[in-house]
Structures are given as C-alpha cells and as structure tokens.
C-alpha cells in the first residue's frame, strides 16, 4: 500500500480570506516503510504571513520571494499524490488550504485524484481521549525524538508524523475472526486422514527473539506498563 504523510505551513489560518500555502512536504510510505521519495517545496504566497504565523514557522517574505508559486508546482504535486492514501494531522485544515490552492490553479479538488484521507488527530483522540494530542504531545507520549523541532517545518513535521502514525497503528484492529467468511461447504475436510501428517516446527533464532522482545517493550512503553503480558 502506498501512503503519503503530508504537512503544510501557511501564511495564516484561513484559506477563505486569502491566506496561502508557503511550504508543502510529503513523505512516502510503502507497506508502512519510508522510501525516501519525498516531495518538498517552499512557495511564494504573494503576500506576507501574519505575525503569529511567522512566529510558528519563521519563513519570511524575503526568504520566499524567489520561490515558485503554487501554480508552477501543482501538476508535479498531483502526479505525486495520485491514488495514494493520505495521512494528515488535523486534516480539515490542510485539505481546505490545498483545495483552495487547487481551485486558484484551475485544478480539481484533492479528493478527485488522491485516495482516502486519514486524520491522525482523530486516531490519536480515539486512542488517548481527554489528553493533548498535538504532534509534540504525541512525540513525547510515543517516544518519538522531536528534539530538533524548534520551529514548525513541513518536512520535519511530516517525517515526525510518519513515525507517530506507525506507532499509533502498529497493533491489529481486531483479533476476532470473521465467521461470515467461513465457507459453507466444508466437505473438503471430511474423511481426510491426518494421522500421518508431520508438522515441521521452526524455532525462532536468537536475533528474532530479541527483535520480538524489542517490539513488546515498545508496546509496553506506549501503554505506560498496562500491557497484559507484563502484569499477568
């Protein structure tokens, strides 16, 4: 499965009142592993950032004035995102800005060419109800190193979010079997003599056992010692 973790920085909080995207970053996951195939652009918004926004991202108008406009990179972005499942923290914010930029560039909305959007903030609120679920808070809770994050930057934030998302979703959704999928005709199993069948038992190697223990320790830390296998 191809997934794209996406983040933006903007001149302010409202695309509908003229704020624009000034940075967009995407990191690619295939089968839940980073590929290194990133998409990252700084953009000239043709306007100044609000003072509060500038304090967050630090991207000045002077720095952005020679960067490309969104219209110049839009087709490359569409090609990169096409068909991929998107992972975005507080997705309505970024999707709203992207759709406004796409509209201004004369392109269709994000949902017309990208796949399903997963809001990692919604996932975090379901897993940690009543707690702070900002990216920084999740990094602290899930032991993701964010020590280099002094200002918000779209590429660093996308990379951190990819790590956070993998840790949020590393468990199975359900251990239950779907009994409705059991074949109605089970005649294939009747009258079969299994008495002579020899099963091969493959023992785990020391490195595999160590890797397994490492995963269990990570899960134990993420649940703050509430895993049942540690308390049984």
DSSP 128-149: STTS--SHHHHHHHHT---TT-
Is 152 noted as a catalytic residue in this protein? yes
- Taking the C-alpha atoms of residue 104 and residue 108, their distance in angstroms, rounded to an integer, is 10
Q: What is the β-pairing status of strands 85-88 and 117-119?
A: parallel
C-alpha dist (Å) from residue 124 to 44, 89, 142, 218: 33, 9, 11, 17
Contact 11, 53 (CB under 8 A): yes
Which listed residue (42, 57, 89, 152) is catalytic? 152
- Spatial CB neighbours of 162, under 8 Å, sequence gap ≥ 6: 5, 27, 29, 34, 87
Active site positions, annotated: 152
């Amino acid at each position: 499965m191809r997934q794209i973790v996406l983040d933006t920085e903007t001149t302010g909080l409202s695309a509908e009142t003229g704020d624009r995207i000034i940075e967009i970053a995407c990191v690619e996951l295939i089968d839940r592993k980073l590929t290194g195939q990133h998409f990252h652009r700084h953009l000239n918004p043709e306007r100044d950032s609000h003072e509060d926004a500038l304090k967050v991202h630090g991207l000045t108008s002077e720095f952005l004035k020679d960067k490309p406009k969104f219209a110049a990179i839009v087709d490359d972005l569409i090609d990169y995102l096409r068909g991929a499942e998107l992972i975005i923290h507080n997705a309505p914010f970024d999707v709203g800005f992207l759709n406004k930029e796409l509209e201004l560039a004369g392109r269709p909305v994000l949902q017309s060419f990208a796949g399903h959007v997963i809001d990692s903030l919604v996932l975090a609120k379901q897993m940690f109800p009543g707690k702070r679920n900002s990216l920084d808070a999740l990094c602290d809770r899930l032991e993701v190193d964010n020590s280099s994050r002094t200002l918000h930057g779209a590429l660093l934030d996308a990379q951190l979010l990819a790590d956070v998302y993998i840790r949020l979703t590393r468990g199975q959704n359900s251990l239950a079997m779907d009994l409705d999928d059991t074949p109605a005709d089970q005649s294939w199993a009747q009258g079969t003599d299994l008495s002579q069948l020899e099963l091969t038992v493959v023992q785990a190697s020391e490195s595999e056992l160590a890797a397994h223990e490492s995963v269990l320790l990570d899960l134990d830390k993420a649940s703050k010692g509430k895993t049942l296998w540690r308390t049984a």
